[in-house]
Amino acid sequence: RPSVGAINGQTVPRASLPGLEAPARCCSYHTVQRRLPVLRWLPQYSLWWLQLDLLAGVTVGLTVVPQALAYAEVAALPVQYGLYSSFMGCFVYCLLGTSKDVTLGPTAIMSLLVSSYAFHDPAYAILLTFLSGCIQLAMGLLHLGFLLDFVSCPVIKGFTSAASVIISFNQVKNILGLHNIPRQFFLQVYHTFQRIGETRAGDALLGLVCLAVLVGLRAMKGHIARIHRVELLSVRISRLIVWATATARNALVVLFAGLVAYSFQVMGSQPFTLTGETPQGLPPFQLPPFSKAEANSTVPFSEMVQDLGAGLAVVPLMGLLETVAIAKAFASQNNYRIDPNQELLAMGLTNLLGSFVSSYPVTGSFGRTAVNAQTGVCTPAGGLITGTLVLLSLAYLTSLFYYIPKAALAAVIICAVAPMFDARIFRTLWRVKRLDLVPLCVTFLLCFWEVQYGIVAGILVSGVLLLYTIARPRIKLSEEGVLLMQPASSLHFPAVESLRDAMHRWALAVSPPRCVILDCTYVSSLDYTVVMGLADLLQEFQKRGVTLTFSGLQGHVLQVLLSADLEGFQHFPSVEEAGK
Which pLDDT tens digit goes with each residue over 320-361? 988 988 888 888 888 888 888 899 999 999 999 999 999 999
pLDDT tens by residue, the chain, 580 residues: 344 443 333 443 433 334 434 555 556 767 788 889 999 999 999 999 999 999 999 989 989 999 999 999 999 999 999 999 999 999 999 999 999 999 999 999 999 999 999 999 999 999 999 999 999 999 999 988 888 888 888 998 999 899 999 999 999 999 999 988 888 899 999 999 999 999 999 999 999 999 999 999 988 877 776 666 667 778 788 888 888 888 889 999 999 999 999 999 999 889 999 998 889 899 999 999 999 988 788 999 999 999 999 999 999 999 998 898 888 888 888 888 888 889 999 999 999 999 999 999 999 998 899 888 888 899 999 999 999 999 999 999 999 999 999 999 999 999 988 988 989 999 999 999 999 999 999 999 999 998 888 988 999 999 999 999 999 999 999 887 789 999 999 999 999 999 999 999 999 888 888 999 999 999 999 999 999 999 999 999 999 999 999 999 999 999 999 999 999 999 999 888 887 7
pLDDT digits (tens, 9 = 90+) for 41-82: 999 999 999 999 999 999 899 899 999 999 999 999 999 999
Cα–Cα distance list, 535 to 402, 510, 526, 541, 564 (Å): 77, 21, 13, 10, 9
State pLDDT tens for residues 358-384. 999 999 998 899 888 888 899 999 999
Q: Classify the phi-psi angles of 301: left when phi > 0, otherwise alpha if psi is within -120 to 50, otherwise beta.
A: alpha
Q: Which DSSP state fits 283?
A: P
In 3D space, the residue among 109, 146, 85, 154 whose CA is nearest the CA of residue 315 turns out to be 109
Calpha distance 137→316 (Å, rounded): 10
Residue 503, Cα to own-chain centre: how many angstroms? 44
Q: Are 137 and 345 in contact (CB under 8 A)?
A: yes
- What CA–CA distance (Å, rounded) separates 208 from 229? 39
Instruction: Quote the CA–CA distance of 243 and 90 in Å, as a whole number.
Output: 24
Three-state DSSP at 37 gives coil
Q: Which pLDDT does position 27 carry in this prediction?
A: 61
Q: How far apart are CA 84 and CA 359, in angstroms?
A: 5
Coil, strand or helix at 114:
helix
Interhelix angle 340-354/311-333, rounded to 10 degrees, is: 130
Confirm if 360 and 118 have CB atoms less than 8 A apart: yes
| C-alpha span between 563 and 69 (Å, rounded) | 65
Secondary structure class of 406 (helix, strand, coil): helix
CA 344 to centroid of chain Cα atoms:
11
Q: How far lies 304's CA from each of 46, 153, 448, in Å?
A: 48, 32, 25
Round to whole Å and give the CA distance between 348 and 324: 13
Half-sphere exposure of 568 (CA within 13 A, CB side): 15
Distance of CA 275 to the CA centre of its chain: 30
Residue 513 and residue 545 in contact, taking contact as beta carbons nearer than 8 Å:
yes
Cα distances (Å, whole numbers) of residue 572 to 525, 541, 576? 18, 18, 9
In three-state secondary structure terms, 510 is coil
What pLDDT shows up at residue 160?
87
Question: Phi/psi of residue 488, each to 5°?
Answer: -90, 0
d(CA 225, CA 211): 24
pLDDT score recorded for residue 248: 86
Residues with Cβ within 8 Å of residue 189, at least 6 apart in sequence:
169
Class of the 475-579 domain?
alpha beta
Burial of 117 (0-12, 13-18, 19+ CB in 10 A): buried
What are the distances in angstroms from CA 402 to CA 30, 40, 63, 505?
50, 43, 19, 76
Alpha-helical (H) ranges within 223-310 are 233-247, 249-266, 301-308
**The pLDDT value given to residue 579:** 75
For the chain, residues classed under CATH 3.30.750.24 are 475-579
Check: CB of residue 269 under 8 Å from CB of residue 85.
no
* Cβ atoms 446, 463 nearer than 8 A: no
**Largest Cα–Cα separation, the chain:** 102
Whole-angstrom distance, CA of residue 136 vs CA of residue 129: 10
Instruction: Judge whether 201 and 228 are in contact, CB under 8 Å.
Output: no
d(C-alpha 489, C-alpha 142), whole Å: 30
